[in-house]
Amino acid sequence: MTMPKKRVVITGVGAVTPLGTDVASTWSALIEGKSGVGPLTRVNPEDYPAKVAAEIKDFDPEKYVNRKEARKMDKFAQYAVAASLMAVEDSGLKITEENAERIGVWIGSGIGGMETMENQFETLLNRGPRRVSPFLIPMMIPDMAAGQVSIMLGAKGINSCTVTACATGTNSIGDAFKAIQRGDADAIISGGSEAPITRMALAGFCANTALSTNPDPNKASRPFDKNRDGFVIGEGAGIVVLEELEHALNRGAQIYAEVVGYGATGDAYHITAPSPGGEGGARAMKIAIQDSGLSPEDIGYVNAHGTSTDYNDKFETMAIKEVFGDYAYKLPISSTKSMTGHLLGAAGGVEAIFSVLAIKHGILPPTINYETPDPDCDLDYVPNEARKADIKAALSNSLGFGGHNATLVFKKYE
């Protein structure tokens, strides 16, 4: 006899993004259609074809950890800790000796501590192996965002890290959702974090021509627009507190939305290009909708992966048509990467938050910089201005290098 699946809800959210160093400021800027993209300052822009990035401004890790601890963390771990502490505070979840073993952490990063690796490699070359920091490895490895959050909060349940490139945040939340649904935990702090605006990461993305070379920060990230020419690299973290419904109700927690569906597939096609027609992404959406128990017509909003690259936007549009049929033309879709840039492994975590806030507040974020329609991208991308809409459910897509596809479905809690 199979046990009924437990219901899972989101009770807290936390974020550090190019639009703001908390959820409130990020959401406000998003709905106003503001861009977090600006001139590239972390590295010398003269060295790169890409001239813009979505950098985080005014982030102070010492608001969350003391200086000594902050210096033992790469930026991606600092962002994860900050967003996690915000999410847990928002949820009102108290972690004690009694419940610690039932509260987990599942936070991924696509790249991990790239900045630490670069700096320490320079030390190795210039000063020799004896001068490399003893903290190199624990600062660099991608699982250390989850590790640091677990240590800081005393969460002793499942402690895991998903690494699936740009699908990382969505896969992390989906995997954590399934763990709670099975009864493996009562609550899991989950999402993604990334700090990839470094010399080496930029060089790599420029070399494979993935980044926009548009020098105008106000126009460079333009998903679904005919004149898009690549993504704008961004950084940050998006973390949610996932909680088993009865556990949340028993402590009187606020509920943002219910997590009801998760789909994950592989393209088995190419290391960087999506499969033709978005076949893998379409299957992920179908699985997530089937898992949710909803019909395609119940979905009122799609937060698209929408990177502003030629193939992604075209093939994701084709995948949405494949899944939703004629209804695709009535379905509002937006790419919030038009404002945040592409946060790589953190994108899915941040976009999960945007999706549940769209349900909660009844307003859909826009796709900004949408000026010239593309015949291949002919759906409703909520162009340039946010839109009020009372929606029952939202779907969020993430697609990653290596052929990773992940989709989450969120529903208004009833």
- Closest CA relative to residue 358, chosen from 394, 408, 331: 394
Active site residue 166: yes
Which two structure tokens, joined as six digits, stand for 286?
Answer: 């179908």
CA 337 to chain centre: 10
71 CB-near residues (< 8 Å, 6+ apart): none
Tokens 């208004």 — which residue? 412
Say which of 161, 166, 206, 377 is annotated catalytic: 166
Handedness of CA 272, 276, 280, 286 (dihedral sign): positive
Burial of 213 (0-12, 13-18, 19+ CB in 10 A): middle
Angle in degrees, 0-180, between the axes of helices 310-324 and 279-292, rounded to the nearest 10: 40
CA 203 to chain centre: 22
Burial of 344 (0-12, 13-18, 19+ CB in 10 A): buried
| CA–CA distance, 338 with 385 (Å, rounded to integer) | 12
| CA–CA distance, 38 with 42 (Å, rounded to integer) | 11
The residues carrying an active-site annotation are 166
